[in-house]
A and B are shown apart, each in its own frame.
Chain A
Amino acid sequence: MGLLSDIYNTVAKFFRPQEEQGDASKSVATNRLKLVLMQDRTNLTPKILEQMRGELIDLLSRYVELDKELLELNFEQEGDQVALMLSIPVIRAKDEDEIEAALKAEAEKLEAKLENLSAEDSVNSEESQECENSDENTEVSETSESENNGMSAPEGMNTNKSQEEIGSECHSEV
């Protein structure tokens, strides 16, 4: 029986129109190749792409609720130009309060980070250096303040506060 069905399949395949036949191993190859060439041409490793994807999700989810699993970040070629295409499935837009809360949370995260940094500095380095370092940190928070100013008032105040704190820490230690 096995032999008969083999023969039948071979004969049936022979008379089938060709377009129906190929299980399109060619299109698999084309797609794999396109992707790998994009990466070759841009020197972006899959690791960096993944990081980029993660950061974009963080940024966008402050403003919209999105389907993280379905978010696609791909290279596409249009003529000679390579474009980075981002497809974001939006579940719903966040309202103003939510956005504000998200920004606030973000600012708090940043603040915590800064504090960590200055704490590490005070442990690791000598006193004179330490003061310089915290000065640098103050600058960082200043810029983040001016960036965030337009978005929400409470956050700007938060940053100010952290700036004062860092400044006072520095002075007291000196």
Chain B
Amino acid sequence: MAGRVIVITSGKGGVGKTTTSANIGTALAKAGYKVVLIDTDLGLRNLDLLLGLENRIVYTIVDVIEERCKLKQALVKDKKNPNLSLLAAAQTRDKSAVNADQLKEICDTLKEENDFVLIDCPAGIEQGFQNAVAGATEAIVVTTPEMSAIRDADRIIGLLEAKEEIKSYKLLLNRVRPNLIKSNDMMSVDDVVEILSCPLIGIIPEDTGIITSTNKGEPIVNDEDALAGKAYRNVAQRILGEEVPFLDLDEPKGFMAKIKNAFAKLKAKV
């Protein structure tokens, strides 16, 4: 069996790469697939926190590369889902502790025994990025509907296009705020897709539940009611090749929105 190796990248920091990695990984594992998450953000590791595994890490990816342990020993199993495991980044080392060939070798080994290897890429376009994409054949570019994030995503897409090994890349639009899009104060999904001319794999609404889920160390896909959780589960299904319609975020929700809408219609009639 040869699994798929997908890198989750963005260029800009803080747009939700790690949250996306944790959630897609968890969703795929819940769907019954064997998944390994690799945190390649050496020195700034966070994926362990989002999964609530920070107290279980003994060995890191650098220990594997410097042969202080076997690859299997460094894989930390998820608390709830035995299908999911994490290969953590070293917190005390920097990006130069690993090179692209070593990471590719690790990915090649891991994909033999797993359905999915998801790589959480560090921000930036330097060595850390080059390392992270080295073993991947697919990419998910995370961006938000903000100018700086889109510009950086465009750079990343340019770099991915130049890489022969990357066979496909898709866009994940994170932190979308429908009310701002409605008032014309945020670029719409269509605007971003048109500007980047990149196929879309998911639209994730801004959700305060992300903050609480991070606090608890539990990915939001485990919350059946959260909208962002549903959006991430849909992304996982699309990765698996299913056609799932994008969530309709325009629907006005809540009592006030309905009143407002009713008045707007009334006024239009008059």
Could you give, for residues 17-48 of chain A, a 1 whenever the CB lies within 8 Å of some chain B CB and a 0 otherwise?
A: 11101111111011011101100110000000
Q: Which residues of A contact B264 (CB under 8 A)?
A: 15-18
Q: How many residues of A contact B (CB 8 A)?
A: 25
Specify the main secondary structure of chain A where it touches its partner.
helix
A167 to B182 alpha-carbon distance, docked (Å): 73
Taking the complex as formed, is A80 at the interface, i.e. its CB lies under 8 A from any CB of chain B? yes
* Docked-complex contact B263 and A26, CB < 8 angstroms: no
Give the residue of B147, B188, B197 whose beta carbon is less than 8 angstroms from that of A80.
B197
Give the residue of A18, A26, A37, A41 whose beta carbon is less than 8 angstroms from that of B187.
A26
Give the contact-size bracket for chain B. Answer: 20 to 34
Q: Which residues of B contact A37 (CB under 8 A)?
A: 150-151, 154, 195
Could you give, for residues 95-138 of chain B, a 1 whenever the CB lies within 8 Å of some chain A CB and a 0 otherwise?
A: 00000000000000000000000000000000000000000000
Q: Given A17-B267, A41-B158, decide whether A26 and B185 contact each other with a Cβ distance below 8 A.
A: yes
Q: Which residues of A contact B187 (CB under 8 A)?
A: 26, 29-30, 33
Q: Which residues of B contact A36 (CB under 8 A)?
A: 147, 151
* Docked-complex contact B267 and A33, CB < 8 angstroms: no
Give the residue of B155, B183, B188, B268 whose beta carbon is less than 8 angstroms from that of A21.
B183
A49 to B155 alpha-carbon distance, docked (Å): 21
Taking the complex as formed, is A79 at the interface, i.e. its CB lies under 8 A from any CB of chain B? yes
Q: Which residues of A contact B188 (CB under 8 A)?
A: 26
CB-contacts of B187-213 with A (<8 A): 187-188, 191, 195, 197
Could you give, for residues 93-125 of chain A, a 1 whenever the CB lies within 8 Å of some chain B CB and a 0 otherwise?
A: 000000000000000000000000000000000
A and B contact pairs by CB, cutoff 8 A, 17 listed: A14-B260, A15-B264, A16-B264, A17-B264, A18-B182, A22-B184, A22-B185, A26-B186, A29-B147, A30-B191, A30-B195, A33-B195, A36-B151, A37-B151, A40-B155, A41-B158, A80-B197
Which B residues have a C-beta under 8 Å from some C-beta of A?
147, 150-151, 154-155, 158, 181-188, 191, 195, 197, 260, 263-264, 267-268
4 A-B pairs with least C-beta separation: A22-B184, A17-B264, A22-B183, A26-B184
